Every structure is written in C-alpha cells, then in structure tokens.
Amino acid sequence: MENIALAEPGAHLSIWALFTQAGWVVKLVMIGLLCASIWTWAIIVDKLVAYGRMRLALNRFEQVFWSGQSLEELYRTLADRKTSGMGAIFVAAMREWKKSFE
C-alpha cells in the first residue's frame, strides 16, 4: 500500500490560499463576483440614503401641511420652488383645482 499523506484539517484553507491555488477561470469568476457584490452594496446604500431623504422631506411637508396654514399660502410657497414627492403632488392638485374654477 502506498503512503498517502493526509493534510491537516484546515491547512491551506484560507480564502487567499484557495484563491491563489485556483485556476484562472475560477479567479476571474471570483473577481467578477466580488465586483458584483461591491456594486450591489453600493446600490443598496444609495437607495437607503435616498429613501431616508425622501422620508425626511415627506415628514417636513406633512408638518407644514397640517400646521393650520391656509392651503393657498402653502401653494404660493411651494409653487415657486422645485418640489418633489408629496409637495409636487400637492402643487399639481392645487393647479388642477384652480383650473376647474376658471
């Protein structure tokens, strides 16, 4: 019987060792997966930041809307600005409402 040397459990099983021992196709796939992972996490973080900003803008608009200020004053204030979200919907609704009386 031949002597077969058994490796110690866990020997050469670090991520770097596995990467350096892999073939070039496997290395390309691993690099591609790493790039895709980084790209995906960047998109996730960007969306979380964007949703957080929109939530803050929505809360600010709701506070102003329910503050008791007249809708006409609120419309004049928001019509001159570039608005988004609920503010833009409010401005569009007020424009249509005003057109219905003309």
pLDDT by residue for the chain (102 residues), tens only, comes to 455 555 566 666 888 888 889 999 999 999 999 999 999 999 999 999 999 999 999 999 999 999 988 999 999 888 888 888 899 999 999 999 999 987
In a domain, 56, yes or no: yes
In a domain, 68, yes or no: yes
Does the predicted model carry a pTM greater than 0.75? no
In a domain, 10, yes or no: no
Residue 86 and residue 58 in contact, taking contact as beta carbons nearer than 8 Å: yes
Nearest to 88 by CA among 79, 77, 97: 79
Q: Which domain holds residue 72?
A: 15-100
In a domain, 2, yes or no: no
**Number of domains the chain contains:** 1
In a domain, 64, yes or no: yes
Burial bucket for residue 96 (CB in 10 Å: 0-12, 13-18, 19+): exposed
In a domain, 29, yes or no: yes
In a domain, 59, yes or no: yes
Structure tokens at 53: 């900003």
